[in-house]
Amino acid sequence: MSGFAVAIAHPNIALSKYWGKRAGAGNVPAVPSLSVTLAGLATTTSVTFDPRLTADALEINGVEVSGEPLRRAIGLVDRVRDAAGTRTFARIVSRNDFPTASGLASSASGFAALALATVRAAGLDWPADRVADLARRSSASAARSVFGGFVELEGEAARAVAPKTALDLRVLVCVTTEEEKKVSSTDGMGVTSRESPYYAAWLEEAPRIHHALREALLAGDFERVGALAEKSALAMHASAMAAGIVYVTGATLAALAEVRAMRDAGISAWATIDAGPHLKCLVRASEAAAAKARLSGVPGVLRIIEAAPGDGARVIEGEGRA
C-alpha cells in the first residue's frame, strides 16, 4: 500500500478538566471534560505510507525522533494498519508553529493531526468521532482537538457541544518558563489517583463542575463559565498537590492573584492552569487588551500568547490509496 496525507490540528484548553483514567486499557478518562479548540496555533503533520521503508520514522520540528515519542506514534499508526489490513511502514513529519514549552499541549494537536493524516493516508474514510477515538487512545485530550469550538469528552466519546462563536472568549496564555515540564500529565494523574487523599473527592466533584459548565456555556453565560473553569482547575490541582504533584510556581500564583485583582476592578477575567506552570486567563474579546497589559506586568510572566476559539482538525492535502 502507498498513500499520503497532510492534516492540520489546533491545541485545546480544557475549561472543565480531565485528570485521572478509568481502570483498564484504552486510555479512557475517569471524568468528563469540556474544552475550547484554539485558532492561530497549529500542528501540521504529513504521513506517507511507503513500501520501500524498512521501519516507521518520525520527524518533529525538523528533528528525527526516537524513543518514547516514536513508540507512541507507532502505537497509533499500528491501529490504523490493523484496520486497513496493511503492514506498510510510514514516514511522519510533524511541525508545530508554537513552541513546545509554551504551555499549550502539543500532544493534543499532535495526536489529532497524526490520527487524521494516518487514517486518510491509509485510504480510510472514517467519521470524526472514530478519528477522535483513535487520537484518544494516544492522548485523551487529543480527541477534543479533532473537533472545533467547544468540545466535550465523556468516557470514550468526544463530541462538539457548541460552535466557536458560542462565547466571546479569548485565552491569554501567560508563558512563565521556556523549559518543558518535569512530570507529564500521564504520570501526574497516575500518582494522583494512587496517592492523593483527595482523588475520590475530585472524582465526585469534577462531573458536577463539568455539567454546570456545559449548561452555562449553552446559556452563553460567560461569567459562570469562567467561574466554573477556575473552580475545575483549582480542584484538579488541589487533588494533585495532596499527592505531592505541584505544577504551579510563584509566577503562576502571582498571575492568579492578578486575575483576581482584575475581577475586583470589574474585568471579567478567570484563570485556568494545566499540568504546567503557565496560567491561562479566560477573558472576553473586548477586555483582552486590558487584561494582557495587566498580566504582562506580572513578575515571572515572560510573554503572552493570545488565542480565540478555532476549528477542528482537517485534511489539507493528499489522498490515501489502498
Residues making contact with ligand DP6 (CB under 6 A)? 14, 17-19, 27, 33, 105, 107, 139-141, 185-186, 274-275
Per the DSSP assignment, residues forming a β-bridge with 35 are: 14, 151
Smaller CB separation from ligand DP6, 6 or 108: 108
Tell me the backbone φ, ψ of residue 63, rounded to 5 degrees. -115, 130
> Residue 14 or 119: which CB sits closer to ligand DP6?
14
Nearer to ligand DP6 (CB atom), residue 105 or residue 262: 105
- Angle between helix 67-84 and helix 128-138 axes, rounded to 10 deg: 150
Count of beta carbons in the 10 Å neighbourhood of residue 294: 19
Tell me the three cell numbers of residue 166.
458560542
Minimum CB separation of residue 22 from ligand DP6 in Å reads 11
Helix, strand, coil distribution of the chain in percent, nearest 5? 40, 25, 35
Q: Which three cell numbers stand for residue 239?
A: 487533588
In degrees, rounded to 5, the angle at the alpha carbon of residue 103 between the alpha carbons of residues 101 and 108 is: 95
The three grid cell numbers given for residue 92, joined into one nine-digit string: 511522519
Q: Which CB sits closer to ligand DP6, 26 or 51?
A: 26
The least distance separating ligand DP6 from the CB of residue 82, rounded to whole angstroms, comes to 21
Q: Are strands 90-96 and 57-60 parallel, antiparallel or unpaired?
A: parallel
Q: Which is nearer to ligand DP6, 5 or 227 (CB)?
A: 227
Residues, the chain: 322
State the nearest-atom distance from the C-beta of 242 to ligand DP6, in Å: 16
Residue placing its CB nearer to ligand DP6 in the complex, 88 or 192:
192
- For residue 143, the minimal CB distance to ligand DP6 (Å) is 8
Q: Which is nearer to ligand DP6, 234 or 267 (CB)?
A: 234
Query: Nearest approach, Cβ of 142 to ligand DP6 (angstroms)?
Result: 7
Residue 14 or 121 having the CB closest to ligand DP6: 14
Q: Which residue's C-alpha cell is 478519528?
A: 131
CB of 275 to ligand DP6, least distance (A): 4
DSSP string, 90-153: EEEEEEESS-GGGSS-HHHHHHHHHHHHHHHHTT----HHHHHHHHHHH-HHHHHHTS-SEEEE
Q: Which residue has the cell 486567563?
A: 281
User: Minimum distance between the CB of residue 221 and ligand DP6, rounded to whole angstroms?
Assistant: 21
Neighbour tally for 65: CB within 10 Å: 15
Residue type, 63: V
Closest separation in Å from C-beta 273 to ligand DP6: 8
* Rg of the chain (C-alpha set): 19
